[in-house]
């Protein structure tokens, strides 16, 4: 077993140290790559899954897409359809109307917190944000974002997430944070491109890492999502 619960605290401390300075990010990325390679060789319940908490304290380093706020009563079907397409591979993100209603009813979810990027009549991308009022001042969260797979890989995801960040920053947040699976390489690259840095890496055991399609090496067919 390449990683165990005994070495986990050391790994977490090392990642924490590396994430504190932009100059160490290369080292952090290398470390993350080595951890992922080690994960490839582990099996069963001991295989860890890593969640990055990423943070951005500055304006997004890419221009935002033009977005519209979510319109309750009008945009539900389009948003559900897009979430379904973008997260078809993700067992925990299979949304139905009930889940959408529940998420919309969550305190701190005004409709304009959900930014929608339209291409003509079609919803092409979305970025769901949340404002947290803390004693030390407001903090922004990027809850979930995605683009239509037919439109992926041409900058729309970066621009849509930038629009979400811009929306949060217009509310004077101290920083914007999000959680992402380390295995979701495209999402991590999107956030790095915008200036996010890995602030913390959280290890989870007993759950298989989730991988979007096209992000699986041929040598690890067992890591493919079941859908």
Q: Which stretch binds ligand COA (CB under 6 A): 31-39, 72-80, 107-115, 156-164?
A: 156-164
CA distances from 10 to 5, 15, 118, 207 (A): 10, 9, 45, 21
Instruction: Return the number of the residue (28 or 147) whose C-beta is nearest ligand COA.
Output: 147
Residue 150 binding ligand COA, by CB under 6 A: no
Instruction: Return the number of the residue (1 or 186) whose C-beta is nearest ligand COA.
Output: 186
Instruction: Return the number of the residue (180 or 198) whose C-beta is nearest ligand COA.
Output: 180
What CA–CA distance (Å, rounded) separates 143 from 59? 18
Q: What does the block give as tokens for 42?
A: 């582990």
Termini Cα distance of the chain: 28
Torsion of CA 68, 159, 149, 99, to 10 degrees: -50
Spatial contact of 116 and 75, defined as CB atoms under 8 Å apart: yes
Residue with smallest beta-carbon separation from ligand COA: 157
Instruction: Return the number of the residue (42 or 109) whose C-beta is nearest ligand COA.
Output: 109
Name which position in 102, 189, 204, 224 contacts ligand COA (CB under 6 A): 189
- DSSP letters, 10-35, are HHHHHHHHHHTSGGGHHHHHHHHHHH
Give the residue carrying structure tokens 């860890």: 48
To which H or E segment does residue 107 belong? none
Residue 87 binding ligand COA, by CB under 6 A: yes
Residue 212 binding ligand COA, by CB under 6 A: yes
What CA–CA distance (Å, rounded) separates 191 from 209? 19
Residue 6 binding ligand COA, by CB under 6 A: no
Name which position in 18, 31, 32, 86 contacts ligand COA (CB under 6 A): 86
Residue 198 binding ligand COA, by CB under 6 A: no
Which residues ranging from 26 to 65 are in contact with ligand COA (CB under 6 A)? none
Instruction: Return the number of the residue (2 or 143) whose C-beta is nearest ligand COA.
Output: 143
Q: Which stretch binds ligand COA (CB under 6 A): 11-19, 110-118, 147-155, 219-227?
A: 147-155
Q: What does the block give as tokens for 120?
A: 């003509």
Instruction: Return the number of the residue (27 or 88) whose C-beta is nearest ligand COA.
Output: 88
CA angle 216, 9, 52 (to 5 degrees): 40
Name which position in 184, 199, 201, 210 contacts ligand COA (CB under 6 A): 184
Contact set with ligand COA (CB under 6 A)? 86-87, 144-147, 152-158, 180, 184-187, 189-190, 193, 212, 214
């Amino acid at each position: 077993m390449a990683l165990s619960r005994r070495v986990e605290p050391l790994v977490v401390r090392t990642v924490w140290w590396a994430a504190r300075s932009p100059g160490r990010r290369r080292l952090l990325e290398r470390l993350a790559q080595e951890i992922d390679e080690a994960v490839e060789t582990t099996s069963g319940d001991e295989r860890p899954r890593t969640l990055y908490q990423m943070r951005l304290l500055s304006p997004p380093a890419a221009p935002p897409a033009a977005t519209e706020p979510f319109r309750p009563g009008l945009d539900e079907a389009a948003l559900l359809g897009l979430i379904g397409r973008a997260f078809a591979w993700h067992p925990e993100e299979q949304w139905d109307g009930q889940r959408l209603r529940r998420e919309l009813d969550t305190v701190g979810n005004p409709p304009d917190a959900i930014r929608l990027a339209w291409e003509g009549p079609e919803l092409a991308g979305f970025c769901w944000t949340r404002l947290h009022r803390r004693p030390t001042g407001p903090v922004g969260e990027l809850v979930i974002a995605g683009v239509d797979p037919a439109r992926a890989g041409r900058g729309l995801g970066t621009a849509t997430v930038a629009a979400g960040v811009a929306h949060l920053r217009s509310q004077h947040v101290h920083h914007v944070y999000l959680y992402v699976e380390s295995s979701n390489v495209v999402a991590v690259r999107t956030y790095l491109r915008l200036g996010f840095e890995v602030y913390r890496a959280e290890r989870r055991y007993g759950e298989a890492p989730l991988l979007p399609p096209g992000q699986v090496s041929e040598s690890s067919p067992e890591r493919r999502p079941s859908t």
